[in-house]
Amino acid sequence: MSTATWYVHSRGRRRADDYQWLPISGAAGSTGKAESARLTEVRRHRWYGATLDDLADDESPSLVLAYAREVGLVVYITRLGPVEPVTDSLHRPIRAAVIGVGTPASASDVVAVAAAALAGELSTLDGLNYELAEEPGFRLDPATWSTTVARCIRWFADLPADGPERPDKPRVDADRPDTRERIARELRSLDLSALAGRRDDLILVLRTPLLQRADHDRRRPWRVLAELSGAPAPATFTPAWLGDQLGGIFRSGVGWAVGLVTGAAVLVVAAVLAWPGSASQPTPAASSASPSPAASSPPALSPTPSPVSSGSPASRGPAASHKATVSPHATQTAPSKRPSKAPSLADR
């Protein structure tokens, strides 16, 4: 039986019913204070300025697998539903979503359900009942859900591990069945025991229809299934930036005269920007909800020879000594054919 805590989000058929979260472990109204408080804490937690609702899109298939020391390992899966489609009183399809919360000891259960959802092994929720006459009008049978989780755990245990060639390097993939299955295999190779020693938040997997490049650059998820749009996070003026601009001018093939004039103009603008008294307005204070990229980038995932663990309290690998960076234009690489090594999630 899974030791993680699970919640379901849906609504009843009646006009008066509304979407709400319920624990899967009991009937409506039986939620204890501790259980309710834990769900509230999870939904309020911000991973580099974004809550689970900010990261996922409940109108489209989305998935978030993230860790925070304050709440544990969390998976959020949207666009699930009953085996047979159900509509409300206005004939609109009723949606369902699931949140799972695990400690380092039960992290493997949460990852198994996330991987099953990515690979298409979990797309509907058996045991959803929308025939209840009383509020809230729906319930997910706990015994049926326990059977579903056990099936995901068995499937995940038999899944071949696919250790990434660069386990410390985040990657952005197109959202396709083959890339989702590839990430599921890569999750199989993770050493989850290192979660017990992490201090920083970490977004392991983010599947969402559209992701702004600036948001991606701030949060640095390890694996992303999304289409990136917009401009990257603004760069700060530095001598290296100036060198890149000048180098680009003279490599672009324009004439030397035009290049020199353009380069001089860039130097003048840079000097004005760098002059201490040039700022006409005070720089606004940074928001606490949007930390700087340097502070928010998660540590690298370091390879260790450890297999998947259900939660040893001590990390089996050395802590990562640097932060991984992600190019907004990262491309797919072919799955590794070498023997897989388990990337560590150890904090640096």
* 3 state SS of 191: strand
Give the confidence band of 42 by pLDDT, cuts at 50, 70, 90. Answer: very high
Phi, psi (rounded to 5 degrees) for 204:
-80, -50
The contacts of residue 113 (CB under 8 Å, 6+ apart) are 75, 77, 98, 100, 122, 149, 152
In angstroms, the CA 281 to CA 321 distance is: 38
Based on the number of CB atoms within 10 Å of its own CB, is 193 exposed (0-12), middle (13-18) or buried (19 or more)?
buried
What does DSSP assign to residue 47? B
Beta strands 96-102 and 128-129: pairing type?
unpaired
In angstroms, the CA 65 to CA 206 distance is: 7
Please report, for the chain, the start and end positions of each structural domain, with discontinuous segments joined by +. 5-229, 239-275
Token representation of residue 203: 């977004």
Token representation of residue 208: 């969402």
CA distances from 109 to 14, 116, 151, 206, 249 (A): 34, 11, 11, 18, 54
Average pLDDT over residues 225-237: 72
Average pLDDT over residues 146-156: 96
* 3 state SS of 205: strand
Average pLDDT over residues 4-30: 83
In angstroms, the CA 93 to CA 190 distance is: 37
Q: What is the pLDDT of residue 67?
A: 96
Q: What is the pLDDT of residue 91?
A: 92
* 3 state SS of 202: strand
Q: What is the pLDDT of residue 32?
A: 59
Q: In angstroms, what is the C-alpha Rg of the chain? A: 23
Task: Scan for tokens 């001598």, then name that residue.
Answer: 239
**What mean pLDDT value characterizes the chain?**
75
Beta strands 202-212 and 223-229: pairing type?
parallel
Cα 59 off chain centre by: 17
What does DSSP assign to residue 169? S
What does DSSP assign to residue 96? E
Phi, psi (rounded to 5 degrees) for 138:
-155, 160
With 70 as the cut, is the pLDDT of residue 269 above it? no
